[in-house]
Structure 1
Amino acid sequence: MPTANRSLIMTGATRGIGWEAARDVLRRRPDTHLVVLGRASSASGILTELREISPHVSHVDIDLASKASVAAGARLEDLLDSGALPPLWGLVFNAGVHLSNALEATVDGYERTFAVNVMSTHQLLRQLHPHLRPPARIVVTVSDAHFGDLRHTGGTMPSPRWAIPDISRPGAYNRSGNVRAGRRAYVTSKLGGIYLVHEWSRRLPQGVDILAYNPSLVIGTGLARETGGAFPFLMRRIVPVLAATPLVDTPAPAGRKLADTILGATAAPTGAYIHRTKAMPSSTESYNPDREHALWNWLEQLPREQPLGTTD
């Protein structure tokens, strides 16, 4: 086994397409040290399986729904600075939640979907991006559900509703306790992920690329488990019928496509939106520099959190 000479830090590597992508990256680039960020309860068994592919796998226990827990990722900075981890060449933000309502609050009081899918990504980027060594690549998993139209969602998802800072608060949507509000919170958060990619692409140094990756419709990822309504039934019973068509992927091929984006096998300029295997335009609404800048400013103005277990 080659010595690891570069580090890749990844959220959402414990199931679905993230798990498949992590395995594929370790096989194709055995010189990579993979750092899995996530809750210990989700990572315990997965780490053993990943280490069967490569010994260069470690884990940092982080709850993406807690700003203080995410701030604890600063320990990664110490490991990178000391050389305990090899130089950082990649960040992958693949974790996400899709809930059955828009009422759930994090420990910090934010709406949980927005906090996990948007706020934690920016917070980790803010902490870790100075440690990236060009050429480097950042990948943020988004979704074509952000289009919110019949063509891209089959009528199963509403259109996004963008309003910062309102959408960061529980109860911001009409009838926030129902399933449709949970779906609107999800598609809005995915629109927010693309806004982050666009704004960060203007701020990162040359040689550090950031991309939005859309796996499109993938069955068997577990993402639908908390969505409520008829959506879990559709994902279990109806959508799998389409798995033999180009319309739907299963986790293994979708994970390989994500790995292609991570490793640079899928070529695209920084700030691009990659649909499965190629760069293409995202929704018209997703190109809005005013919204992108406003989101950046709002996230930057939030109070900085101390890592858990520390004091001022």
Structure 2
Amino acid sequence: MTVHDITGPTVLLTGPTSGIGAGMLRALLQHPARPRLVLLARNETALDAALAHARSAGITAHGVGVDLADLSSVQVALAEVRALLEAGTIAPIDAALLNAGTQFMSRAKLGAQGHERTFTVNVVAQHLLVTGLEPMLAPAGHVVVMGSSTHRGKKQSFNLIPDPQWQAPAELATADPADAPTEAQGRERGSIAYASSKLALVTAAHVWAERLAASGRRLNTYDPGLTVGTGLVREMSAFR
């Protein structure tokens, strides 16, 4: 990350408490631009720790709780960020780094609204964030969403993740609580759901980018590569 990657002082980051997001937070704390931060995370205790870490480094930081598996929680979080902006507590957002995402061992998990949880977190919640944050962005604001090379197929993930299987959004958002008859089958279907969600995300990102470009803003999808040791896959040990 260079000085020119952040065009102003206000940066919003999702998922700052673990994995890639925690690494991004560390980089932001060392960034010469000294950005003021808005951190969105699900775990309240971990969020408090991240805020304390940022403030101990002399960075102004505000925390907002959000559960991306609950679309109502996303709307509430957006309202909290908007209230901070309207109160003058934060300036318009120069960079929104939408890092948080998830992967599960099966397609049996549900979000709060009853949709398949991987698709809820990785696609629907991201859409709400991008569109909800748009009016809060600075005139040259930049949004980055977290993609994955898995949307290109298993050869791009060292054959660790199966190929995505494109379906209509309504199908991708439909979970099956009986989708994991065996652990191996469930793991494969969970991985397909993840790769498919990232394909959907990249597809949607083209539309989001065009929408933001119309008002002079930018949106990019970032592929972090292999994410060993980040805890991305829920319920999977480090040795599987």
TMscore range, shorter length: 0.7 to 0.9
Structure 1 position 86, deviation (Å): 1.6
Match of 1:222 among 216, 231, 237: 231
Q: Residue 158 of structure 1 contacts residue 183 of structure 1 at CA under 8 Å; is this kept in 2?
A: yes
CA 46–31 in structure 1, closer or farther in 2 if over 3 Å, else same: closer
Residues 28-75 of structure 1: per-residue CA shift (max 9 Å, x gap): 144411111112143122222222223311110111111111111212
Report the Cα distance in structure 1 between the residues aligned to 2:99 and 2:107, rounded to whole angstroms: 21
Give the corresponding residue for 2:28. 25
Give the corresponding residue for 1:125. 130
Give the corresponding residue for 1:144. 149
Identity of aligned residues (%): 31
Give the corresponding residue for 1:57. 61
Q: Residue 134 of structure 1 contacts residue 207 of structure 1 at CA under 8 Å; is this kept in 2?
A: yes
Residues 65-89 of structure 1: per-residue CA shift (max 9 Å, x gap): 1111111121211211221112211
Q: How does 1:190-209 map to 2 (within 5 A)?
A: 190-204=198-212, 205-209=214-218
Amino acid at match of 1:10: L
- Verify: 1:35 aligned to 2:38, yes or no: yes
CA 79–125 in structure 1, closer or farther in 2 if over 3 Å, else same: same
Report the Cα distance in structure 2 between the residues aligned to 1:194 and 1:54, rounded to whole angstroms: 36
Greater Rg over alpha carbons, structure: 1
- Verify: 1:13 aligned to 2:13, yes or no: no
Structure 1 position 200, deviation (Å): 0.6
SS in 1 for 2:108: coil
Match of 1:160 among 160, 164, 168: 164
Q: Residue 36 of structure 1 contacts residue 58 of structure 1 at CA under 8 Å; is this kept in 2?
A: yes
Residues 227-261 of structure 1: per-residue CA shift (max 9 Å, x gap): 46xxx325xxxxxxxxxxxxxxxxxxxxxxxxxxx
CA 173–122 in structure 1, closer or farther in 2 if over 3 Å, else same: farther
Match of 1:182 among 186, 190, 195: 190
Report the Cα distance in structure 1 between the residues aligned to 2:178 and 2:149, rounded to whole angstroms: 21
Q: How does 1:55-94 map to 2 (within 5 A)?
A: 55-73=59-77, 74-94=79-99
Output the aligned Cα RMSD.
Answer: 2.1
Structure 1 position 107, deviation (Å): 1.5
Give the corresponding residue for 1:260. none
Report the Cα distance in structure 1 between the residues aligned to 2:234 and 2:175, rounded to whole angstroms: 20
How many positions carry a matched residue from both structures? 226
Query: Which TM-score applies when normalising by structure 2?
Result: 0.87
Structure 1: which 5+ residue stretches go unaligned?
235-312
Q: Residue 28 of structure 2 contacts residue 34 of structure 2 at CA under 8 Å; is this kept in 1?
A: no
Match of 1:233 among 224, 231, 239: 239
Amino acid at match of 1:200: W
Report the Cα distance in structure 2 between the residues aligned to 1:60 and 1:174, rounded to whole angstroms: 34
SS in 1 for 2:127: helix
Report the Cα distance in structure 1 between the residues aligned to 2:94 and 2:64, rounded to whole angstroms: 18
Structure 2: which 5+ residue stretches go unaligned?
1-7
